C-alpha cells in the first residue's frame, strides 16, 4: 500500500521498492508501472523537501551551458553584444543586467532561476 513518505526509513524503503520495480520488464499501464510512477512522485517530493539542491551560481550556470554548447568565452560576447562585458561577467567583475538575463535565457536556454540565484 502506497503512503506518503515522512521519514528517512520510509524513504529508503521506497527507494528500494522503486529500484526493484525498475529491474523488471514493466508493461505500460500495468499495476507495477503505475506503482513505480506514484513511488517516483513520492520520492521526488520527499527529496525536494528534505534534500533540496540549490541552483548554481549564475556564472557557473553560464560556463556550464557554454561548455555544453562548445562555446568559447568570446562567443558569449557575440551573444550579449559586448565582448568586454562578457569577459567581465565571466571573471565576476560585472553583474548581469535584466536584459542580459533575458538574452541568456532566450539564446542559450539557461533557466532564469539559475541566472538570478544568489546574485
For residue 44, the enclosing domain spans 8-50
Q: Kindly state whether residues 78 and 36 are assigned to the same domain.
A: no
- Report whether pLDDT(115) > 90: yes
d(C-alpha 36, C-alpha 19), whole Å = 9
Q: Kindly state whether residues 42 and 69 are assigned to the same domain.
A: no
Q: Kindly state whether residues 27 and 72 are assigned to the same domain.
A: no
d(C-alpha 57, C-alpha 70), whole Å = 20
Q: Kindly state whether residues 45 and 62 are assigned to the same domain.
A: no
Owner of C-alpha cell 549564475: 58
Q: Kindly state whether residues 102 and 82 are assigned to the same domain.
A: yes
- Report whether pLDDT(119) > 60: no
Q: Kindly state whether residues 46 and 67 are assigned to the same domain.
A: no
Q: Specify the number of domains making up the chain.
A: 2
Q: Kindly state whether residues 69 and 101 are assigned to the same domain.
A: yes
- CATH code for the domain of 76: 1.10.260.40
Q: Kindly state whether residues 26 and 74 are assigned to the same domain.
A: no
Instruction: Give whole-number Cα distances, 73 to 21, 27, 49, 85, in Å.
Output: 45, 47, 36, 11
Burial 69-78 (b: 16+ CB within 10 A, else e): eebeeeebbe
Read off the pLDDT of residues 57-96 as tens digits, 9 standing for 90 and up: 999 999 999 999 999 988 999 999 888 889 999 998 999 9
Instruction: Give Cα 92 distance to the centre of its chain.
Output: 22
Which candidate, 45, 42, 44, places its Cα nearest to that of 2? 42
| pLDDT at residue 85, as a whole number | 87
Q: Kindly state whether residues 75 and 95 are assigned to the same domain.
A: yes
Read off the pTM: 0.63
Q: Kindly state whether residues 82 and 111 are assigned to the same domain.
A: yes
d(C-alpha 31, C-alpha 34), whole Å = 5
Amino acid at each position: 500500500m502506497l503512503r506518503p513518505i515522512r521519514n528517512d526509513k520510509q524513504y529508503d524503503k521506497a527507494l528500494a521498492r522503486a529500484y526493484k520495480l525498475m529491474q523488471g520488464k514493466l508493461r505500460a499501464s500495468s499495476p507495477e508501472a503505475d506503482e513505480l510512477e506514484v513511488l517516483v512522485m513520492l520520492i521526488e517530493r520527499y527529496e525536494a523537501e528534505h534534500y533540496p539542491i540549490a541552483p548554481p551560481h549564475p556564472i557557473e550556470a553560464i560556463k556550464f551551458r557554454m561548455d555544453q554548447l562548445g562555446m568559447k568565452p568570446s562567443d558569449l560576447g557575440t551573444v550579449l553584444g559586448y565582448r568586454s562585458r562578457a569577459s567581465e561577467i565571466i571573471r565576476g567583475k560585472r553583474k548581469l543586467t535584466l536584459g542580459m538575463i533575458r538574452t541568456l535565457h532566450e539564446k542559450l536556454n539557461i533557466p532564469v532561476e539559475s541566472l538570478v540565484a544568489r546574485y
